[in-house]
Amino acid sequence: MKQFITEQHKEKAIQAIQRVVKVPSYLKDGVPGAPFGQDIVDCLKETLTLFEEEGFTTFIDPEGYYGYAEIGEGEEIFGILCHLDVVPPGDESLWDVPPFSATNADGKLVGRGVQDDKGPTIASLYALKAVLDSGATLNKKVRFIFGTDEETLWRCMDQYKKNEAPIDLGFAPDSDFPLTFAEKGLLQAHLTGPGSKDFTIKGGSALNVVPDSATYTGDKQEEIKAVLTKLGYNFKETNDGLVVAGKSIHSKDAPEGINANTRLAEAMCEVIDHPALDFLGKLVKADANGVSVVGEVSDEASGKLTFNVATVEINEKETKIGLDLRLPVTVSKDDVVASLEKKVAEYGLTYAEFDYLASLYVPVDSELVQSLLGAYRDVTGDMREPLVSGGATFARTMDNCVAFGAMFENTVDTMHQPNETWQLAEMEQTMVIYAEAIYRLCTNH
């Protein structure tokens, strides 16, 4: 195999990751030309400028939903589907460095987005640059598509697909190696019901994250503290109220996290009588597979359903609970929804769908999968089979597209968590793999 990646490519990649991570591109109130907040558009513009500096032609949607950068000639378009938005930093006191500093120290980059998805986006850029710098000629257009709403509703890709020609094949650098050829369905919903004049709860900030804190305010604090202590759950007292701690992780891996919302509800429902608390604290509790709510749901291809009580807000006006479910690839969404609606109604809650993404499937024997898999195996020697994931990547928005890296089997997954980290050795290995894959699929080698 040809060696494409040089020290210069690695150094430029590090500097570019720092450059885009420094823009805090998480969802905020929209303004004209910036539907998801000005910071996200600023990050998009900065990224497009960076690609222009490397010889790409760029385009930005006039309404601010998406952009793309492309290079090469030909009828076919090879797409690399990336996203520049990130989840909020959360409690910044839990970070060892400022979350948008993109600190480079001790062989790693730390900052919001270094793993998800700004780091792999830039690794893809300099992998392609390394192939071009070697003298290779592209036999098709390579187009980087930059979404800006991946962490919420994917409205960016809806707009892209409405306005632009589809790609012919490609990958999203937003998952795990060796590659993901099938992704579970994603169902997000809100449950609403009566509020309470006696207390407030607020926990969680995004539907695709297991919440790491939930706050109670009311006059039963001492009684709830006693129950939390009995249960062995971590909490602290603050000026805002009683704050219960959890362990944040991506919703697709909900069973591996600790849900602060349900922990708080478990304690509260022993002290306060409220149907939503009973739903969360007596029924759901630590059940991150939703068995208590929708029954056993799984299939042989993709495993069990996952169930995350991502957000909770109970105030004087209403109860609002945000759920994130990842559905096995062969399971009927309608059947799950029917079970869910029936069960929550028993607790005075009303179901309303917020977002749904159908599953992804590209045959393992396709040219795309075999070429990407071959590049990965030849670089690493790892012969593991391709994956099925509970995650949702932009790959499912296009035909003949899969998720390809950039996390390895032994990568410590810090996405959506404090101190999000990418090891530089893993960044370099990712660039080597991507360069080999692009060389095989996009040049007449």
Cα(235)–Cα(213) distance, integer angstroms: 9
pLDDT given at position 153: 87
With 0-12 CB in 10 A as exposed, 13-18 as middle and 19+ as buried, what is 380? middle
CATH number of 7-184+360-442: 3.40.630.10
Q: What is the arithmetic mean of pLDDT over 333-337?
A: 97
Residue 332 — pLDDT band, cuts 50, 70, 90? very high
With 0-12 CB in 10 A as exposed, 13-18 as middle and 19+ as buried, what is 333? middle
Share the mean pLDDT of the chain.
96
Instruction: Name the amino acid, one letter, at 120.
Output: P
- Kindly list the domain boundaries of the chain, sorted by start residue: 7-184+360-442, 185-357
What is the 3-state secondary structure of 131-151? Answer: HHHCCCCECCEEEEEEECCCC
35 has pLDDT over 90? yes
Is 428 within 8 Å of 123 (Cβ atoms)? no
Q: What is the arithmetic mean of pLDDT over 250-271?
A: 96
Here the tokens at position 160 are 């892209």
> For residue range 105-147, what is the model confidence (pLDDT) as tens digits?
999 999 999 999 999 999 999 999 999 999 999 999 999 999 9
Q: Whose CA is closest to 51, among 32, 75, 67, 31?
A: 67
Here the tokens at position 364 are 């393992």
389 has pLDDT over 90? no
Q: Which residues have a Cβ under 8 Å from the Cβ of 133 and sit 6 or more positions away? A: 4, 6, 9
pLDDT given at position 415: 94
DSSP result, 398-410? STTEEE--EE-TT
Here the tokens at position 225 are 């503290």
Cα(98)–Cα(101) distance, integer angstroms: 5
Percentage of the chain modeled with pLDDT above 70: 100
Q: Which residues have a Cβ under 8 Å from the Cβ of 428 and sit 6 or more positions away? A: 5, 10
Report which secondary-structure segment, H or E, holds 223.
helix 221-231
Q: Are strands 298-299 and 241-245 parallel, antiparallel or unpaired?
A: unpaired
Is 416 within 8 Å of 249 (Cβ atoms)? yes
Q: Which residues are catalytic?
A: 85, 150
* This prediction's pTM: 0.75
Residue 434 — pLDDT band, cuts 50, 70, 90? very high
Alpha helices in 259-395 (DSSP H): 260-268, 275-278, 291-294, 333-345, 367-380
Q: What is the arithmetic mean of pLDDT over 415-437?
A: 97
Q: Whose CA is closest to 40, among 81, 83, 82?
A: 83
- CA–chain centroid gap for 171, Å, is 16
Phi-psi region of 334 (alpha: psi -120 to 50; beta: other; left: phi over 0): alpha
Is 329 within 8 Å of 301 (Cβ atoms)? yes
Backbone angles phi, psi at 190, to 5 degrees: -115, 140
Cα(204)–Cα(174) distance, integer angstroms: 23
Instruction: Name which of 79-93, 167-181, 265-279, 389-403 the model is least confident about.
Output: 389-403
Is 310 within 8 Å of 208 (Cβ atoms)? yes
* E-state strands within 136-294: 141-147, 169-172, 175-176, 180-183, 185-194, 199-203, 213-218, 235-238, 241-245
> For residue range 280-326, what is the model confidence (pLDDT) as tens digits?
999 999 999 999 999 999 988 788 999 999 999 999 999 999 999 99
Cis peptide, bond prior to residue 276, ω within 30 of zero = no
Here the tokens at position 312 are 């909770």
Is the CATH number 3.30.70.360 carried by domain 185-357? yes
358 has pLDDT over 90? no
> For residue range 192-246, what is the model confidence (pLDDT) as tens digits?
999 999 999 999 989 999 999 999 999 999 999 999 999 999 999 998 899 999 9
Cα(64)–Cα(60) distance, integer angstroms: 7
Q: What is the arithmetic mean of pLDDT over 53-80?
A: 97
Residue 90 — pLDDT band, cuts 50, 70, 90? very high
